[in-house]
Structure 1
């Protein structure tokens, strides 16, 4: 497995209080739009829900960022990527609708909106809205520090395709498997104490994890590649092969498995 590019030694610029507030405001606004859209198009079928959810949330976020942060670059799952973001001092990495499948299956709640601000390769501000659950996690008001791990830890996986690495971690820890949808919902479950480990090796894009990693790190959870290498964002190729988010007390036990 090829290592990730190292995170720059130079400390990235810090986010302003307004950056943190803006991340929350945008995630919340897009979330409200999606909740209303889901109700409006409930009888229109899954394909329409997916397409319209992606499109309308993307357009809202791009319009708002264009107005609020015209000098910053944007990388969106639903947008056209360009080289300009690579030389930008600050780049917003957004997933307008993380978990389109889950969104298209009302009343499933395990979908999210991701808004992250990246500078120097690191997410410095972010918010993950879980609109169907009425929850928004953010770097501006980090969640409570991790509590105690239960006697039987919980490893979170996808419903349909649990990765081998997660199954190996669960076996090593004697853990319970918890099934859930989108990447944002999975990381949020760890941050909120409903799970303890999220180990993913099937590949994701930067927009799948930038905001979740920002809020998890701000709350004191371990975040890295599955080999322990630091995560780096706003790279020329936004594909990330793997991800680990876990309770800090389990980090060494989990890495002992995932580094194999």
Structure 2
């Protein structure tokens, strides 16, 4: 059966939310005493839930999942779901932390076509829609349109990794023409969502990620009007033979030129 784009947006959101609810149950069942056991249980059970749902609802589509076997047949497929069943396993296994996520994205005919990021501990999903992006609470209240906010003049809050912030970011903070505050946040999805929700103004990363770390939040960011690029300014590409996608910049378009210039000036752009 041919699926409409509208169906893909809705399915991505539903699968991310359902996997997120399962992860909250896993936290309750397993507890926090053994962090490694909790992380493993969360990764596997969320992966199994998403894989089963995609096999049921989109049996003809390929899947690239962090926890699954990479089938090279995806490279010839017209539709590929790129999923991270649990983005931010460290934070998931820490009691009280909410900066972890579930990512579900659809790549179709050369580009990202739909995406959803569930923030289960916050009870909300950020997702694409046919005419933009939405924030949907899980409590049944009405969702709202999502648009990236312009930063306050002279100030820039930049999301960075809690545990391994890129060394160049502090140098970057000294180069740009703004007062920069570095804000540690857990998962990549949580960082990009923080940009879209106006909690920070930018996310810049270089030093190691994969397609599943950014596909879904990038899909939502683009739908919300954000600038998204590699740190050299090029557009990120998905469903590549090598799924490594080590760097990313997400911000309001007004900040992009300043940040890309600063990144270049501190020598953080990898050689071509």
Larger deviation: 155-164 or 175-184? 155-164
* 1:145-224 correspondence to structure 2 within 5 Å: 145-151=147-153, 152-171=155-174, 172=176, 173-224=178-229
Matched residue, 1:11: none
Partner Cα separation in structure 2 for residue 49 and residue 73 of structure 1: 28
Partner Cα separation in structure 2 for residue 201 and residue 258 of structure 1: 10
Which of 39, 61, 64 is the equivalent residue of 2:50?
61
Matched residue, 1:95: 84
Partner Cα separation in structure 1 for residue 61 and residue 95 of structure 2: 35
Which structure 1 residue ranges, 5 or more long, are not aligned? Answer: 1-13
Instruction: Assess if the C-alpha contact under 8 Å between 2:32 and 2:95 holds in 1.
Output: no
Partner Cα separation in structure 2 for residue 128 and residue 73 of structure 1: 19
Matched residue, 1:46: 35
Instruction: Assess if the C-alpha contact under 8 Å between 1:116 and 1:125 holds in 2.
Output: yes
Alignment partner of 1:77 is 2:66: yes
Alignment partner of 1:128 is 2:117: yes
Matched residue, 1:142: 133
RMSD: 1.4
Instruction: Assess if the C-alpha contact under 8 Å between 1:213 and 1:223 holds in 2.
Output: yes
3-state SS in 2 of match to 1:204: coil
Partner Cα separation in structure 2 for residue 238 and residue 15 of structure 1: 27
TM-score, normalised to structure 2, is 0.88
Partner Cα separation in structure 2 for residue 106 and residue 23 of structure 1: 27
Deviation at 1:150, TM superposition (A): 1.9
Instruction: Assess if the C-alpha contact under 8 Å between 2:32 and 2:93 holds in 1.
Output: no
Deviation at 1:257, TM superposition (A): 1.3
Hey, which of these two has a bigger chunk of strand by percent? 2
3-state SS in 1 of match to 2:133: coil
Matched residue, 2:97: 108
Q: Which has the higher contact order (CA 8 A, sep 6+)?
A: 1
| Structure 2 CA distance for partners of 1:97 and 1:147, relative to 1, 3 Å | same
Which structure 2 residue ranges, 5 or more long, are not aligned? Answer: 135-145, 266-272
User: Could you give the per-residue CA deviations for residues 74-94 of structure 1, whole angstroms, max 9, x where no partner exists?
Assistant: 000000001100000000000
Instruction: Assess if the C-alpha contact under 8 Å between 1:109 and 1:130 holds in 2.
Output: yes
TM-score, normalised to structure 1, is 0.92
Instruction: Assess if the C-alpha contact under 8 Å between 1:165 and 1:200 holds in 2.
Output: no
How many residue pairs match? The answer is 247
Which of 2, 9, 12 is the equivalent residue of 1:23?
12
Partner Cα separation in structure 2 for residue 71 and residue 126 of structure 1: 18
| Structure 2 CA distance for partners of 1:43 and 1:221, relative to 1, 3 Å | closer
Deviation at 1:43, TM superposition (A): 4.4
